[in-house]
Amino acid sequence: MKETKEFPVRNPRDALSLMSQKFYEKYGDEALPLIRDVWYKLGTAIGKKMKSNIDNPNLATAGQDFVDSGRKRGTPIDIVQLTEDIFHIKGHRCALGLGGKGIDLCRACMGCDLGILEAATGSKLNMDIIQSLANNDDCCEVMIRK
């Protein structure tokens, strides 16, 4: 567990990220289920709104909307594969400021992305974090499958 370098807060998501980092720093692994639960609930709320704006809410359309939204916020994202069954991306900046903070905290916070896509598609999905900037990898590589 690394000491939290102050993460700049510009919006409510940034505040939740900073709070998650501070909780993890103070309480360690015991905090991870709580952190994941809150992030997943946020993602579910975002995903429900996304679903109402998508004509054909499947993994391909929700995934594209997810990528477009991230890019609008300045996050460089490459689509590796995007189908109705697989959403595989590489991100080159952690919007949550988790670089070097550890893969366990990353997995907990990524509950948000899983919640977004599950709510947007109405399907239970599986997420694999292949690489993570939080783990000091070169990028964040995530695959989400039906």
CATH of the domain at 37: 3.30.1380.20
Q: Is the pLDDT of residue 115 over 90?
A: yes
Average pLDDT over the chain, rounded to an integer: 94
User: Smallest Cα–Cα separation from 99: which of 71, 136, 73?
Assistant: 136
Q: Is the pLDDT of residue 4 over 50?
A: no
| Any domain includes 6 | no
pLDDT tens-digit readout, 60-81: 999 999 999 999 988 999 999 9
User: Smallest Cα–Cα separation from 105: which of 33, 15, 44, 46?
Assistant: 33
Q: Is the pLDDT of residue 2 over 80?
A: no
Neighbours of 115 (CB within 10 A): 23
| Any domain includes 3 | no
| Cβ atoms of residues 107 and 78 within 8 Å | no
Domain of 110 in residue numbering reads as: 12-145
How much is the pTM? Answer: 0.92
| Any domain includes 105 | yes
